[in-house]
């Protein structure tokens, strides 16, 4: 893992933005490793991700905000600074389906996901064995319509105790409350088993099968208060035929879900995603 810093910027589009950021970094002896930008013409916005080597960078990061503030204010920038050396802390929420959980744990164990996983939370005990296999603490918190507020209070307490940075819903089949979502805005990633906006909500494979679709998909997105309507991070599809029954759709879809979710989680960890409005830009 390189010792680098990543700056994400979104602001009104105008001339000179790349030069202003590059000149600031050059004046502090930064060696830029990657720089990518995007202009949304309809929204009139400029979005940028720039990563630089911290070796020789003469501006201590504790002084970065004060030093960068005049540029940010002059160009009305919203910005975020992250360090590649910092391992974010991820909590995974899961129900009975274990394929996405298993894939995330394997990729984490193999070093593909540069993060810590201090906690797995489930409303069913079925995946406890998987957490034990990877030596990750597992917390079973049953959820019903009547106990949801108490269950979410327990979940919040656990997330705070374990100093969690973001949450992944790995086929967690519960709708989170608006209060919970607001507390973790843009820090909850979900996998939905359809190609959104088609077949949102419950039983998407059943509805896709009944509709006779020729493609099924999976979508990973940030969670908002509107069900399955948050900013989309990643999607993928696979072709099916009239010979496939409902069980075939579920099996083929599970493979998509794993890949789509793991990509989204990795991009979030690597600080490659900029959210604006209800859209995202994912930088290469």
- What percent of the chain has pLDDT above 70? 100
pLDDT at 44 over 90: yes
pLDDT, residue 2, reads: 79
> In this structure, which topology does domain 4-83 adopt according to CATH?
Alpha-Beta Plaits (3.30.70)
What are 249-284's pLDDT values in tens digits?
A: 999 999 999 999 999 999 999 999 999 989 999 998
Residue 168: pLDDT band (50, 70, 90) is very high
Q: Is pLDDT at 62 greater than 80 in this prediction?
A: yes
Note the pLDDT tens digit of each residue in 142-164. 999 899 999 999 999 999 999 99
Whether 18 has a pLDDT exceeding 70, the answer reads yes
Catalytic residues: 228
* CATH number assigned to the domain with residue range 89-282, chosen from the 4 options 3.40.50.620, 1.10.10.10, 3.20.20.70, 3.40.50.170: 3.40.50.170
pLDDT of residue 201: 84
Statement: residue 193 has pLDDT above 70: yes
Q: What is the mean pLDDT of the chain?
A: 95
| Strand 166-169 versus strand 188-192 pairing type | parallel
134-149 burial, b at 16+ Cβ within 10 Å, e below that, comes to bebebbebebeeeebe
Q: Where are the domains of the chain?
A: 4-83, 89-282
Max Cα separation, the chain?
Answer: 63
Q: pLDDT tens-digit profile of 194-252?
A: 999 888 888 999 999 999 999 999 999 999 999 889 999 999 999 999 999 999 999 99
> What pLDDT band is residue 1 in, cutting at 50, 70 and 90?
low
How many angstroms separate the first and last alpha carbons of the chain?
17
Does residue 36 have a pLDDT over 70? yes
Give the pLDDT confidence score for residue 58 in this predicted structure: 93
């Amino acid at each position: 893992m390189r010792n680098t810093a990543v700056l994400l910027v979104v602001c009104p589009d105008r001339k000179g933005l790349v030069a202003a950021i590059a000149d600031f970094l050059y004046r502090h002896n930064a060696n830029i490793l990657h720089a990518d930008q995007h202009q949304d013409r309809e929204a009139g916005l400029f979005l940028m991700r720039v990563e630089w080597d911290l070796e020789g960078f003469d501006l201590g990061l504790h002084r970065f905000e004060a030093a960068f503030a005049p540029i940010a204010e002059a160009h009305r920038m919203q910005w975020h600074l992250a360090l590649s050396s910092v391992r974010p802390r991820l909590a995974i929420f899961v129900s009975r389906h274990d394929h996405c959980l298993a894939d995330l744990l394997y990729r984490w164990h193999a070093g593909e996901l540069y993060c810590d996983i201090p906690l797995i939370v489930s409303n069913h005990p079925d995946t406890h064995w998987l957490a034990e296999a990877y030596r990750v603490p597992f917390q079973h918190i049953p959820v019903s319509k009547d106990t949801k507020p108490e269950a979410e209070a327990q979940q919040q307490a656990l997330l705070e105790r374990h100093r969690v940075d973001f949450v992944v819903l790995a086929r967690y089949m519960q709708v989170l409350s608006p209060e919970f979502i607001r507390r973790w805005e843009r820090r909850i990633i979900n996998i939905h088993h359809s190609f959104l906006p088609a077949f949102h909500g419950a039983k998407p494979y059943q509805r896709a099968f009944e509709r006779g679709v020729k493609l099924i998909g999976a979508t990973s997105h940030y969670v908002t208060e509107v069900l399955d309507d948050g900013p989309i991070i990643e999607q993928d599809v696979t072709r099916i035929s009239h010979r496939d029954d409902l069980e075939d759709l579920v099996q083929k879809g599970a493979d998509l879900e794993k890949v789509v979710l793991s990509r989204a989680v990795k991009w979030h960890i690597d600080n490659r995603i900029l959210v604006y409005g209800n859209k995202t830009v994912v930088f290469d």
